[in-house]
Structure 1
Amino acid sequence: MNSNLLKSILGKKRALDTYRPLPPAIVKKLEEEFSIAWTYNSNAIEGNTLTLQETEIVLNSGITIGGKTVNEHFEVVNHKNGIDFIKSLVEKKESLTEDTVKKVHSLILQSIDDSEAGHYRRQNVRILGARHIPPQSFKIPRLMNDFIEWFHTNEYSISPPELAAEVHYKLVMIHPFIDGNGRVARLLMNLILMKHGYPPASYSKSIGENIIGS
């Protein structure tokens, strides 16, 4: 991570800490608003066409949006369930494991592709528009085991922002699942940030497309 960027992030974290603890009502409102934006942005990166307002309607009212696919609605609900799950892990102070990664993925693909939800891919894949070619499927179990070992070795030796960024990068490069890798990586990135007292991060579709294409 760029040293100036890291310095800026750490400075903003220190500034945020001066306002803590925030009143519970404000925290609740901020979390609700951010969960909607986070869900919208993460799904938009993957091609979901629901707007921010439509995403809010689906989450808060359970109303289906005309002209949108069933799977797009499931993607919204599933991502919010993923957010709720990682929040529970933060509250319980649980660490990252392969089972955690698979559980997050199972929530993301629930009712969309139940046969693949929570399972490592069993076929080779290419990422549309990306130069990177993901590893062959038979290598996934070993690579994921190595990934978790790397995480536990480095969990407290590098700064939380750097750790979160590396978790995201390594998961996207391994591409362990047939679908949903980006959403899982972004959720786990925020699991790391939140566990260490940082607010979750979200970025727009345009930034996500640049990451995918790199």
Structure 2
Amino acid sequence: MLYGLPDLDDRDRHVLAEIDGMRARLRLQLRTPRRWEGQLRRDLTARAIAGSNAIEGYVASAADVEDILLGQAPIEASGTVTAEIEGYRQSMTYIQRLADAGPDFAYGKGLLNALHFMMQGHHPLKRPGWWRSGPVHVTSPDDPTIAAYTAPDAERLPELTGELVDWLNEGDPDAPVLVRAAMAHLNLVAIHPWADGNGRMSRALQTLVLAREGIVAPEFSSIEEWLGRARNTYRYYDVLAEVGGPVWTPGRDTRPWLRFCLRAHHQQAQAVERQVETTRTVWSVLEEAVERQGWADRTLYALYPAVMGNRVRRATYQADAGLSTQQALRDLRELVRADWLAPRGEAQGRYYVVGAGVPEDAVRGVLEPRALREPYTET
């Protein structure tokens, strides 16, 4: 027996409808390929990976994660954090591929263990890709000597993971996909089948369920960035403890967990909509400004991330614009001379940020902050 889907009420259905509306608008905006879309997708992926790993204490900036995504050495992240990010990157890359795997795709224990091996393969002593062989406890964040949750005995893992896989393939097919994804997350983290990496695997599975069932691309549908924000992380642990109980008790009311996830999806969708709007505005203004300067439009691949508050590295610009090393260096030097970019750091740590000479209307395109709507209190 797994933790079961709660009945939906009118408020839940209203929130689901609003999320569906935001996702539909996003699909329309992405139907026609845009030059800025690749950088936006990478940025969202980096923020999702950074968020999920931050929950486990492996903190890296989205900029460092982007470096790792591109095969570059990060500027600030430690070797330990870099290894965790790289492992998670591998599993998320595979999930992105599985989104388009076709009708022959099926969930299986082997798939779950393969994703876990990609994520945790750098920890050979923790048996990556194998079910745990002994007990495991989720400790209290306030006192590591206190077990906040005790997972099922290892002997039950074949039975419980088999039940979960069967449900993923055939269970509750008429339930909204956001509900199914949330319950997949809850059940996998409650089973806790591995010695380590269970939280990240459960969040990755939630993203995979969404991706497989057509909720736009994984980088646009993941709530991992939202979960990684400190206040949301605390609530995440609280609601898992409330719903999961101190031990495996699948008869408990799962409505608080579902509403927590729907709120996360609603607010993350708001944030993504705003990010797309900002990206489109900034890119358009910069495009006109670059044309007035008589520069090659490829320089947008350096100027856009700088104006958005991200750092620009030579290798990243070179890859995005499809240039040689010398061409990339010449462009960056010209942008520095014009004061549209400002250099920071030295040698391998050299990067660029937005300069004072960038037109003011481009900087204004980065919209003023505004609060996210609370879907369950404003409906």
Under a length normalisation based on structure 2, what TM-score does the superposition of the two structures give? 0.52
Q: Distance in 1 between matches of 2:186 and 2:54?
A: 19
Equivalent in the alignment of 2:93: 84
CA deviation digits over 1:1-39, x for unaligned, max 9? 733432222222222233341316444222211111111
Equivalent in the alignment of 2:295: none
Equivalent in the alignment of 1:208: 233
Counterpart contact for 1:83–1:187, Cα < 8 Å:
yes
Percent of aligned pairs with the same amino acid: 21
Q: Alpha-carbon deviation of 1:100?
A: 1.1
Q: Whose RCO is larger (CA < 8 A, sep 6+)?
A: 1
Counterpart contact for 2:188–2:202, Cα < 8 Å:
yes
Q: Distance in 2 between matches of 1:86 and 1:96?
A: 12
Distance 1:28 1:56, change over 3 A: closer
Q: Distance in 1 between matches of 2:51 and 2:76?
A: 20
Cα root mean square deviation, aligned? 2.2
Give 5+ residue unaligned stretches, structure 1.
none
Counterpart contact for 2:50–2:59, Cα < 8 Å:
no
- The AA in structure 1 aligned to 2:66 is E
Distance 1:82 1:156, change over 3 A: same
SS in structure 2 of the partner of residue 127 of structure 1: strand
CA deviation digits over 1:155-183, x for unaligned, max 9? 63211111111111111111111111111
Q: Alpha-carbon deviation of 1:208?
A: 3.0
Alignment counterpart, residue 123 of structure 2, candidates 98, 108, 112: 112
Q: Alpha-carbon deviation of 1:118?
A: 0.4
Distance 1:142 1:112, change over 3 A: same
Alignment counterpart, residue 48 of structure 1, candidates 46, 58, 62: 58
Q: Distance in 1 between matches of 2:120 and 2:191?
A: 18
Higher Cα Rg: structure 1 or 2? 2
Of the structure 1 ranges 70-79 and 194-203, higher mean CA displacement relative to structure 2 is found in: 194-203
Alignment of 1:19-30 (within 5 A): 19-23=29-33, 25-30=35-40
Q: Alpha-carbon deviation of 1:114?
A: 5.7
SS in structure 2 of the partner of residue 132 of structure 1: strand
CA deviation digits over 1:70-97, x for unaligned, max 9? 3311111111111111112112132321
- The AA in structure 2 aligned to 1:117 is P
Q: Distance in 1 between matches of 2:118 and 2:125?
A: 10
CA deviation digits over 1:125-182, x for unaligned, max 9? 1102273321111111110001111222226321111111111111111111111111
Q: Alpha-carbon deviation of 1:48?
A: 0.5
SS in structure 2 of the partner of residue 11 of structure 1: helix
CA deviation digits over 1:88-128, x for unaligned, max 9? 21121323211111111000101123651101111111102
Aligned residues: 213
4+ aligned runs moved over 6 Å, structure 1: none
Of the structure 1 ranges 194-203 and 31-40, higher mean CA displacement relative to structure 2 is found in: 194-203
CA deviation digits over 1:173-198, x for unaligned, max 9? 11111111111111111111112222
Q: Distance in 2 between matches of 1:145 and 1:9?
A: 31
Distance 1:25 1:101, change over 3 A: farther
- The AA in structure 2 aligned to 1:131 is A
SS in structure 1 of the partner of residue 163 of structure 2: helix
Q: Distance in 1 between matches of 2:30 and 2:75?
A: 39
- The AA in structure 2 aligned to 1:102 is N
2:227 corresponds to 1:196? no
Q: Distance in 2 between matches of 1:187 and 1:164?
A: 10
Under a length normalisation based on structure 1, what TM-score does the superposition of the two structures give? 0.88
- The AA in structure 2 aligned to 1:208 is T
